[in-house]
Structure 1
Amino acid sequence: MITGELKTQIDGIWNTFWTGGISNTITIVEQLTYLIFIKDLDETETRNERKALRGFKYTPLFAVYKGEKDEVNQQNFRWKNLKEMDVNARHNIFSNTVDGVFPFIRSLGKDQSLFSTYMKGATFGISKPSVLDQVMEKLERIDMTNQDTKGDIYEYLLSKLEGGGTAGQFRTPRHIIKLMVELMQPSLEDTICDPSAGTAGFLVAAKEYIDKHNEMTELDKKSEHINKTMFNGTEFDATMLRIASMNLYLHGIEEPNIVDVDAVSKDNTVSNAYTLMLANPPFKGTIDKESISAGLKNVTDTSKTELLFLALMLRQLKKGGRAAVIVPDGVLFNNSNAHKSIRKEIIENNKLEAVISMPNGVFNPYTPVSTAIIIFTKTGSGGTDNVWFYDMLADGKSLDVKRNLLVDEDLFMDFAFGNSLENADEELKRSVHNKFNLPQILDHYRYYKSDYFKKMHGKNGELLQVNDVPENLAFNHFMGETLTHDYSDRTSQSFIVPFNEIKENDWDLSINRYKEIFYEEVKYDEPKVILQRINEMDEKRVELKKLLLSKI
């Protein structure tokens, strides 16, 4: 969420557009996005130039070549050079429709690629040189080295779009995206999709995870797959299509496959295509029943998008494919036939792995809706035995509209932007747990899914008495409390529930259905004892009053 100085800076840029005669919200969002993209291109080129000194090979983004009429120097399109130019000369380069900045960025994608298709609509819309000058000057003051800054800016800009809230266009908090990606551990073999791509936050996070966990030689071997087929999504908002394409391009994906289609409509015919799906579908949307893909209605007869997207994921996943998706709590317990049918499909006919309940406020200030993350695998033949439930009570930020950090900023950023607290010791993780549950969630789930779990725990999750060396029990892989936790204890945040119990409860997945609340017994004295104590206090009060009066 954008707050403080960054919010003030973006508001200042917004006001510059307004006072400069640009009042259309969509125009401001798009023009600002293009400028951020151009700035990032130059920063990417600068990083590559530095790496080239250590032997890194790359194709320069900005070249110098002979045009039809004269020499074209694309070095003039670099942010560092643009910002040094005369105000009018700079504006001429931006507004040049033949060999200026915008023809350049439209040419970046491969011919006929989707990126190139969406960028064809990119046009320069700032008519006054002074406005461009002021906006660039103010953008230059914003530190964008933190990977989330651009996402925060997009989130804030989206909040200004008319109807943005009702369309569900809220960027998922980066640390929640990071948690979901870390839980699913995407690999170079995966084909990944987000059917409600938005700004492509999930896909970008998956790319960052893959880059971090693989050697450069392995990435090179899979470069064709990474650039053309690994990252997929659907989105029907033209602005989001461009933003998502630019976001993925800047993260090294040359031809992102973001398709312009309403994901749950008849126009989307993709099936059995992906091995991993990560998504936060719109919560409140509905779609005309006549336009819904027939196959989805067979699974859940509804027009509610949150249910249709789950049916879509089951259709689009390959057998053995996995999904992590955010759903509103109503999906977990609502008694309508449509809600129960999709839950039954996931639990009985496929394999539900986990339900992670998130606290109210995770999506503040935009919506107070309670949400959960569900994780499942497509099998087509059942397989759910136990379901792991986790009651997330704290995500590291306050749950009010301010969403202030409650833990050390470096600690939080380590989790959200890079190393998942790999450098933090167990004592530190335990000390922040009451304010920041995400490290424990990640540790518990990975342990639950590992082969070690059955060594230490029975079929109901109870702790067994095991005589073995710590290394064989994974004490060097997981936190000690993770291995010694009693997963049958339903008064805890982390426990498992068997398939049969969920079936008996009509496929209810609400954590409150299964979690036990422990009430500590409070004993009170008998009334006559309490009355005697009151009388003694009253007598003492009278004595003290007499003493004070005697001294007047």
Structure 2
Amino acid sequence: MVKASLSKHNGSNGDSTNGNITRDIVAKLWNLCNILRDDGITYNEYVTELTYLLFLKMLAETGKESRLPENYRWQDLDDRQGLEQLEFYKQLLLDLGSPKKVNDAVVLAIFTDAQTKLRKPTNLKAITDAIDALDWFSAREEGLGNLYEGLLEKNAAEKKSGAGQYFTPRPLIDAIVRLIKPQAGEVIQDPAAGTAGFLVAADHYIKAQTDDFYQLSSKAQEFQICQAFRGLELVPDTHRLCLMNLMLHGIESPVDCGDSLSPDGETLGKADVILTNPPFGTKKGGGRPTRNDFSITAETSNKQLAFVEHIYRALKPNGRAAVVLPDNVLFEDNTGKKLRQQLMELCDLHTILRLPTGIFYAQGVKTNVLFFTRGKSDRGNTKAVWVYDMRANTNTFGKTRQLTLADFAEFEAAFGEDPYGKSPRIDQGEEGRFRCFTREQISDRNDNLDIAWLRDTSDDPEDEMTEPEEIAAAIATHLKNALAAIDGLIEELN
């Protein structure tokens, strides 16, 4: 029976959902990282290491250890001491990543090429003892998925980890999902899945609409658990975190390790909904996409432009998308302009949200959310674009001023209830934040969609930086943006 496999959840994933016990457990787990730094372990390595151990422990706590071969389970590791425990752990990681030992596809994917960075037996024992001492009964009640998401968010918030450079803030994810309104029975895709934030949030939303799927038939429940969500993640270590996050939320859909800008992306198939924050910058090594179905971006190394082409080609007719993109996608000439023209022909690009600065770890990155619907025909689908400016004269977000779901309330009200952007809307004029621009007006702008009309008198968040890590990150971001622009110019000249 499918219902027995449903995981407990507490509504939308975001800063308001994790209970006090979950936050306390996350803090305790994170504090262990201070011990491991003496072992030469970085923050990202620590979270990956912790994923291996938490996977074993959570299978024990949820009664699912049958997914593991005998003698490779939590108690087998926890009962050991000293050097014997460390040597056993090293062998366990090797064996759980071997098809000769393991039949479970998720287990294999999580442990493929897994290696421990631990060198001191005392550190391994400190972690296993600390994990054993946690309040697992309460953690199960609040949802183990919430616990793991809290750990991922903690890692992203730690500047020195670098994990939050383009980490999509949970309140932004939740606001996007609430506007797009994914429905039971729809195929939902993220071609740059990361740690599965968008997919998990969509799952939470659908569960909230269907009483944890109990309003659905058994066949429909099975679809939601095993087929509704599709995605790819390029980085193996991030893919492990993604699989763990999905598993703890009861999602068994295939999210593989691969490159959406290669033929892997074609295997994702068509989707009803695409939600994503694709990586910014150029393709590694300056390479071009290797997709046979690309036309506009076939010769560019600009990843975000290529991802846009993937998205509108992967949408079913009347399929809807929301994608986080940097400003250069809106104003770049040549390939960028051709892409925008094709996007507005094939899709109804009905809304652009200009996001405030400072919400991403990488200072200097200015971003937007593009909301669009794939047309039933291939011509003239965009009649007008509504632009909401959440950037000008707004709070500076960062460590001291966290982004919350409440910050999106005015935009959500202006957007309206219709997920296709068809709700009645009011143009607020030159003094307001929400304005409408016809396709003809955009054409007169040379199809430049980087539209701003409010005079911004707020301080630049970069002027307030004091910590060396922040300043270095901002400089690195500006250099990357400049290099991406130069690469694009060289491509056009060639």
TM range (shorter): 0.7 to 0.9
Partner residue in 1 for 2:239: 241
Partner residue in 2 for 1:480: none
Whether the aligned pair in 2 keeps the contact of 1:211 and 1:219 (CA below 8 Å) is no
Q: How does 1:120-135 map to 2 (within 5 A)?
A: 120-122=112-114, 126=118, 128-135=120-127
Instruction: In structure 1, give the amino acid aligned to 2:184.
Output: L
- What secondary structure, in the 3-state scheme, does the structure 1 residue paired with 2:265 have? coil
Partner residue in 2 for 1:500: 440
Partner residue in 1 for 2:275: 278
Q: Which runs of 5+ in 2 are unaligned?
A: 1-13, 16-22, 458-494
Aligned counterpart for 2:416 among listed residues 434, 442, 446:
446
Deviation at 1:188, TM superposition (A): 1.3
Do structure 1's residue 210 and structure 2's residue 228 form an aligned pair?
A: no
Deviation at 1:187, TM superposition (A): 1.0
Partner residue in 2 for 1:544: none
Whether the aligned pair in 1 keeps the contact of 2:52 and 2:111 (CA below 8 Å) is no
Whether the aligned pair in 2 keeps the contact of 1:272 and 1:318 (CA below 8 Å) is no
Whether the aligned pair in 2 keeps the contact of 1:301 and 1:338 (CA below 8 Å) is no
Q: Which runs of 5+ in 1 are unaligned?
A: 46-59, 407-411, 416-435, 455-460, 462-485, 520-552
Q: How does 1:69-84 map to 2 (within 5 A)?
A: 76=75, 82=78
Are residues 37 and 392 of structure 1, via their aligned partners in 2, closer, same or farther at CA, if it must alter by over 3 Å? farther
Do structure 1's residue 324 and structure 2's residue 306 form an aligned pair?
A: no
- TM-score normalised to structure 1 length: 0.65
Instruction: In structure 1, give the amino acid aligned to 2:334.
Output: N
Deviation at 1:294, TM superposition (A): 4.4
Find the aligned partners of 2:421 and 2:50 in 1 and give their Cα distance: 49
Q: Which moved more, 1:214-223 or 1:286-295?
A: 286-295
Whether the aligned pair in 1 keeps the contact of 2:275 and 2:323 (CA below 8 Å) is yes
Deviation at 1:280, TM superposition (A): 0.6
Are residues 446 and 504 of structure 1, via their aligned partners in 2, closer, same or farther at CA, if it must alter by over 3 Å? same
Whether the aligned pair in 2 keeps the contact of 1:22 and 1:28 (CA below 8 Å) is no
Deviation at 1:326, TM superposition (A): 0.4
Aligned counterpart for 2:390 among listed residues 385, 389, 392:
392
Partner residue in 1 for 2:64: 61
Partner residue in 2 for 1:545: none
Whether the aligned pair in 1 keeps the contact of 2:189 and 2:274 (CA below 8 Å) is yes
- What secondary structure, in the 3-state scheme, does the structure 2 residue paired with 1:212 have? helix
- Number of corresponding residues: 422
Find the aligned partners of 1:405 and 1:102 in 2 and give their Cα distance: 40
Instruction: In structure 2, give the amino acid aligned to 1:182.
Output: R
Give CA deviations for 1:298-318 in whole Å, capped at 9, x if unaligned.
357421111110011112222
Deviation at 1:440, TM superposition (A): 2.2
Whether the aligned pair in 2 keeps the contact of 1:387 and 1:498 (CA below 8 Å) is yes
Find the aligned partners of 1:110 and 1:394 in 2 and give their Cα distance: 54
CA RMSD in angstroms, aligned pairs only: 4.2
Partner residue in 2 for 1:466: none
Partner residue in 2 for 1:362: 359
Instruction: In structure 1, give the amino acid aligned to 2:169.
Output: P
Partner residue in 1 for 2:89: 95
Do structure 1's residue 265 and structure 2's residue 268 form an aligned pair?
A: no
Are residues 266 and 105 of structure 1, via their aligned partners in 2, closer, same or farther at CA, if it must alter by over 3 Å? closer
Find the aligned partners of 1:348 and 1:376 in 2 and give their Cα distance: 11
Aligned counterpart for 2:52 among listed residues 29, 34, 43:
34
Q: How does 1:302-451 map to 2 (within 5 A)?
A: 302-334=300-332, 336-363=333-360, 365-379=361-375, 380-393=378-391, 399-405=396-402, 412=404, 415=405, 436-447=406-417
Deviation at 1:205, TM superposition (A): 0.9
Deviation at 1:504, TM superposition (A): 2.1
Aligned counterpart for 1:229 among listed residues 217, 227, 242:
227
Whether the aligned pair in 2 keeps the contact of 1:102 and 1:124 (CA below 8 Å) is no
Are residues 507 and 263 of structure 1, via their aligned partners in 2, closer, same or farther at CA, if it must alter by over 3 Å? same
Are residues 299 and 132 of structure 1, via their aligned partners in 2, closer, same or farther at CA, if it must alter by over 3 Å? closer
Q: Which moved more, 1:228-237 or 1:136-145?
A: 136-145
Bigger RCO (CA 8 Å, 6+ sep): 2
Partner residue in 2 for 1:57: none
Give CA deviations for 1:243-285 in whole Å, capped at 9, x if unaligned.
111110111012x312222221245333751111111111123
Are residues 299 and 65 of structure 1, via their aligned partners in 2, closer, same or farther at CA, if it must alter by over 3 Å? closer
Deviation at 1:196, TM superposition (A): 1.0
- What secondary structure, in the 3-state scheme, does the structure 2 residue paired with 1:487 have? coil
Q: Which moved more, 1:351-360 or 1:141-150?
A: 141-150
Are residues 65 and 183 of structure 1, via their aligned partners in 2, closer, same or farther at CA, if it must alter by over 3 Å? closer
Point out the structure with max Rg over C-alpha: 1
- What secondary structure, in the 3-state scheme, does the structure 1 residue paired with 2:294 have? helix
Find the aligned partners of 1:372 and 1:200 in 2 and give their Cα distance: 20
- TM-score normalised to structure 2 length: 0.72
Whether the aligned pair in 2 keeps the contact of 1:192 and 1:275 (CA below 8 Å) is yes
Deviation at 1:242, TM superposition (A): 1.1
Partner residue in 2 for 1:17: 36
Partner residue in 1 for 2:153: 152
Find the aligned partners of 1:405 and 1:246 in 2 and give their Cα distance: 26
Whether the aligned pair in 2 keeps the contact of 1:64 and 1:74 (CA below 8 Å) is no
Partner residue in 2 for 1:184: 180
Instruction: In structure 2, give the amino acid aligned to 1:76.
Output: Q
Are residues 102 and 250 of structure 1, via their aligned partners in 2, closer, same or farther at CA, if it must alter by over 3 Å? farther
Find the aligned partners of 2:370 and 2:210 in 1 and give their Cα distance: 27
Q: How does 1:512-527 map to 2 (within 5 A)?
A: 512=452, 515=453
